[in-house]
Chains A and B, each alone.
Chain A
């Protein structure tokens, strides 16, 4: 049987080329996401400041509930520190030469050329220098709190040398330090950030949490067993995570950790989607190729092949083909992964120097998944091949297969439609970005339903199209007859097209609905007349707040602290940690400067120990007004707060509002200051007054109210662009698949075209006929695709914009329709032209 399968594959190279291509591209996509997953898990950059440390301890960013339920599903948004005593505990261990606690400070150095520009630097106590190790190349260590050491790259950026002074932005002003020395890296490691060393006391003074360390670095004694050391460290400080060789970058560089988890997240969702769609496309082409071979199967049955043998032949063919396709497709997958990674780096979502990691696993998984996909996709086809009656071989002409759908397919198809519609309702119960993600899933399930119902759904469409076509001259009549003759082929070709149209519309429109909603919410809810925004890393200092507050033009002011908190939510019957975007505001001003649209409770009750939640998030957390709620703050501190208000403008202002004092010790400095004008002065006077404050204070700028709305969503916009990149790759794949199956389907009609030519049909009539058929196909795809997208999008629009008509992307819609039509026309015309060039008598004579 194997040799027969090999011979069939060899002899039918042309027919199988399409399937091969579809499977190879699927392998390419899966490999690409596999490489991204592996990079997300394992990629690392060379450490710089901790290059000389054998191990580094850091706080555990995983969330703990009830002290037992540890989960990786939610990760704390703020850096988690270690208590100061850790250093002593660790230093006592045998095998430890030095243990140093590091306050990782984000500082801004005022550029010497003035103009309020600041250079962000990473600030540390000079006692951490052995972790590099950093050694002085010039001058000496900081001997007093007023002295600093800069590393060589920073010295170059700032153009400073020993004896010069640098200005650090600090507490509403600047403070001047003398450069006592310039340090070089002992191992000559490549700098990833610019480092400034302070006197250890000064570092502790500047730290927002002076009694804890962000990391504790350990340098091992000469000849110590580092594996044993790591185990001992983990046993000594059970609350900490021990980072060793190859993982140190995760605790050293925050952006590396963020980039890695983003890669992982994107790759998993992209990979899952790619796999599902690959199954669609590969099954389509396999079905088309097999459909053409029914006669061959009938002959096999007539000369004594059992149904089992026929099914096995088909499966062995698929196995061989997918094996070769899987291997050859996986190699270019690396290039796709690399292209996506560098695009993400270009967006700033992933550090540019974070490399892709290449291991054998993604390739093995891709080949395996493609083989499984092909074999699973073939099983249905094999079953129908096996059922082929030998009578088919005895017949002279083969009628297209029956359209009768088996009951299970009808049932499953309807179930998918029902599931899809209910998934589309998610945003009604979850008015957050996470809820909006339900629309994408809904479309996939709806398309799956359409694929299953296939011919039953397309029947009415074909009927209507047929009536229309028959009014046209001969080519219309021929086209109507040809499409009606094989509704199964029509349905098979239709599915990937519906998927492409529906999915593109949904992904893009979901983003514009969310964008419009966020903008509207901020627009309606922001009562502030002016906004100050921190450009550097030190935020809006309290001194600035006090200064603004003292201005006669200021009526009310409130800082805006952004962080995220984690609550327990009831999702699908499971108690799951749910991350909420949270803002801290000055308690008294919440209703006026920032009106989140209260629907229950009273925002004036917002005082320390209370919280206001977006209403659907409150429902998911299972709390009502007056109830107590357990939250885990950004740095892992648990807190119990009382719910005092529920509001509706969650996209614009986050899902939780806290009095800012409650967040102060558990999040970074406030990034914004909202200011309302005093009645007698007005907005103009206020803006002028604020301009003078900004001029005195480096690292601050005035921001328009519109910018605030845009910025509130900038993070999700980056996420959207990342999704679009994935979508683009997948659409390219669907296009290849569609092109493929249309070519395969059209090439299978050589005999039909030759017959038409023989009885005197002109070439251009044949061309016009296939073009009309393609037009019906495209129209049906656009119709169903739009319908499939419209259902979840309307729900989304009702949930977020209050109207069932989502903002329709006319330009994109035209582009989608145009591209679909173009791809289909090319795919149909190319083989038709080739076939029309052959001599019809010869083509008819050849037994297919």
Chain B
């Protein structure tokens, strides 16, 4: 869990971690591989195989139905579809009955769950979630966060999430606090009140 006030460098961190952006100094290792010196195609392949994305704005392809959206990363990678795994994920995120629908026909919470299924399908080393609940009400957001938590607990998935919502942060194992581009604090087993307290301290700095 990565937290910090606006402008603290959360997004830049995320972009660098996923190989979308390059750091001006320092090095990034992902799943035992250094990212520096990789070409655009290698980075793309790496993203495809090792990283799953969940965006605040869902970013599903409007022209494809749920099934196609979820399986698209595999198609792009030219990888075979593991039917059982796909069924398990779709079942888990609770959209197995909406497979033929287009994103426009789904609610925000449903769309985000499809996006999580898409992130999980390739068994990535890391899922990067950029304010995944930012556009959802607290109830729906809670279910999405629960889903991410479950994927950690049941599927052994690593999730790095950016948020500034203390409640969202409470789902994490560890919360890191960013300010002015630096990690200034960390908190194991965060709860909403402790996170909120740290955040307000950062805000006053």
Q: Is B64's beta carbon under 8 Å from chain A?
A: yes
Q: Is A434's beta carbon under 8 Å from chain B?
A: no
Chain B interface bracket (under 10, 10 to 19, 20 to 34, 35 or more): 35 or more
Known contacts A7-B64, A394-B14; A306/B41 CB under 8 A = yes
Q: Is A296's beta carbon under 8 Å from chain B?
A: yes
Q: Is B194's beta carbon under 8 Å from chain A?
A: no
Contact B44 A301 (CB under 8 A): yes
Contact A8 B77 (CB under 8 A): no
Q: Is B188's beta carbon under 8 Å from chain A?
A: no
Known contacts A302-B20, A847-B62; A4/B75 CB under 8 A = yes
Give bound CA distance, A310 to B187, whole Å: 41
Give bound CA distance, A296 to B57, whole Å: 12
Contact B59 A299 (CB under 8 A): yes
Give bound CA distance, A394 to B54, whole Å: 10
Give bound CA distance, A304 to B104, whole Å: 23
Q: Is B11's beta carbon under 8 Å from chain A?
A: yes
Minimum Cβ distance to chain A for residue B110 (Å): 13
Contact A303 B72 (CB under 8 A): yes
- Residues in B with CB closer than 8 Å to A41 are none
Q: Is B55's beta carbon under 8 Å from chain A?
A: yes
Minimum Cβ distance to chain B for residue A74 (Å): 56
Q: Which A residues, 811 to 848, have Cβ-Cβ distances below 8 Å to chain B?
A: 846-848
Q: Is B33's beta carbon under 8 Å from chain A?
A: no
Q: Identify which of B57, B76, B102 contacts A305 (C-beta below 8 A).
A: B76
Minimum Cβ distance to chain A for residue B78 (Å): 10
Contact with B along A272-305 (1 / 0, CB 8 A): 0000000000000000000000011001111111
Contact with A along B3-33 (1 / 0, CB 8 A): 0000000010011001011000000000000
Counted as pairs of residues, one from A and one from B, with CB atoms less than 8 Å apart, the total is 87
Contact A302 B53 (CB under 8 A): yes
Q: Is A636's beta carbon under 8 Å from chain B?
A: no
Q: Identify which of A296, A300, A846, A847 contacts B76 (C-beta below 8 A).
A: A300
Q: Identify which of B18, B41, B64 contacts A307 (C-beta below 8 A).
A: B41
Minimum Cβ distance to chain A for residue B191 (Å): 29
Give bound CA distance, A306 to B61, whole Å: 16
Beta-carbon nearest neighbor of B52 in chain A? A303
Q: Identify which of B11, B41, B44 contacts A394 (C-beta below 8 A).
A: B11
Q: Is A231's beta carbon under 8 Å from chain B?
A: no
Known contacts A11-B102, A394-B14, A394-B20; A304/B63 CB under 8 A = no
- Residues in B with CB closer than 8 Å to A389 are 20
Q: Is A69's beta carbon under 8 Å from chain B?
A: no
- Residues in B with CB closer than 8 Å to A8 are 63-64
Q: Which A residues, 6 to 35, have Cβ-Cβ distances below 8 Å to chain B?
A: 7-8, 10-12
Q: Is B47's beta carbon under 8 Å from chain A?
A: yes
Q: Identify which of A12, A300, A307, A394 contacts B55 (C-beta below 8 A).
A: A394
A-B complex: 5 closest residue pairs judged by Cβ atoms:
A304-B48, A11-B63, A299-B59, A8-B63, A306-B44
Contact with B along A295-327 (1 / 0, CB 8 A): 110011111111111000000000000000000
- Residues in A with CB closer than 8 Å to B64 are 4, 7-8, 11
Contact B73 A304 (CB under 8 A): yes
- Residues in B with CB closer than 8 Å to A295 are 59
A-contacting residues of B (Cβ < 8 Å)? Answer: 11, 14-15, 18, 20-21, 40-41, 44-45, 47-49, 52-53, 55-64, 68, 72-73, 75-77, 102-104, 118, 122, 130
Give bound CA distance, A393 to B77, whole Å: 19
Contact A303 B57 (CB under 8 A): no
Q: Is A390's beta carbon under 8 Å from chain B?
A: yes
| Chain B CB within 10 Å, residue with most, of A8, A301, A307, A394 | A394
- Residues in B with CB closer than 8 Å to A393 are 53, 55, 59
Contact A303 B63 (CB under 8 A): no
Give bound CA distance, A391 to B49, whole Å: 18
Give bound CA distance, A307 to B59, whole Å: 18
Contact A12 B63 (CB under 8 A): yes
Give bound CA distance, A300 to B62, whole Å: 12
Contact A7 B68 (CB under 8 A): yes
Q: Is A396's beta carbon under 8 Å from chain B?
A: yes
Contact A847 B20 (CB under 8 A): no
Minimum Cβ distance to chain A for residue B102 (Å): 7
- Residues in B with CB closer than 8 Å to A309 are 76
| Chain A CB within 10 Å, residue with most, of B72, B103, B118 | B72
| Chain B CB within 10 Å, residue with most, of A296, A304, A308 | A304
| Chain A CB within 10 Å, residue with most, of B48, B53, B55, B76 | B76
B-contacting residues of A (Cβ < 8 Å)? Answer: 1, 4, 7-8, 10-12, 295-296, 299-309, 389-391, 393-394, 396, 846-848
- Residues in A with CB closer than 8 Å to B52 are 303
Give bound CA distance, A778 to B122, whole Å: 51
Beta-carbon nearest neighbor of B59 in chain A? A299
Contact A390 B102 (CB under 8 A): no
- Residues in A with CB closer than 8 Å to B59 are 295, 299, 302, 393
Beta-carbon nearest neighbor of B50 in chain A? A304
Minimum Cβ distance to chain B for residue A401 (Å): 18
Contact A303 B76 (CB under 8 A): yes
Contact A303 B53 (CB under 8 A): yes
- Pick 16 A–B contacts, CB within 8 A, sort by A: A11-B102, A299-B61, A302-B47, A302-B53, A303-B52, A304-B122, A305-B48, A306-B40, A306-B45, A389-B20, A391-B15, A391-B20, A393-B53, A396-B57, A846-B104, A847-B62
Known contacts A307-B44, A389-B20; A847/B103 CB under 8 A = yes
Q: Identify which of A4, A302, A390 contacts B68 (C-beta below 8 A).
A: A4
Known contacts A11-B62, A391-B21, A394-B55; A307/B76 CB under 8 A = no
- Residues in B with CB closer than 8 Å to A12 are 63
- Residues in A with CB closer than 8 Å to B130 are 394
Known contacts A8-B63, A11-B62; A307/B102 CB under 8 A = no
Give bound CA distance, A678 to B103, whole Å: 95
Give bound CA distance, A300 to B53, whole Å: 11
Q: Identify which of A300, A304, A390, A396 contacts B56 (C-beta below 8 A).
A: A396
Minimum Cβ distance to chain B for residue A193 (Å): 64
Contact B61 A300 (CB under 8 A): yes
Contact B61 A296 (CB under 8 A): yes
- Residues in B with CB closer than 8 Å to A396 are 56-57
Give bound CA distance, A848 to B104, whole Å: 9
Contact B44 A304 (CB under 8 A): yes
Give bound CA distance, A48 to B75, whole Å: 68
- Residues in A with CB closer than 8 Å to B44 are 301, 304-307
- Residues in B with CB closer than 8 Å to A7 are 63-64, 68
Give bound CA distance, A308 to B42, whole Å: 12
Given A4-B75, A8-B64, A12-B63, 5 extra CB contacts under 8 A: A299-B60, A300-B61, A302-B20, A302-B47, A305-B76
- Residues in B with CB closer than 8 Å to A10 are 63
Q: Identify which of B73, B102, B104 contacts A303 (C-beta below 8 A).
A: B73
Give bound CA distance, A299 to B60, whole Å: 8
| Chain A CB within 10 Å, residue with most, of B49, B57, B118 | B57
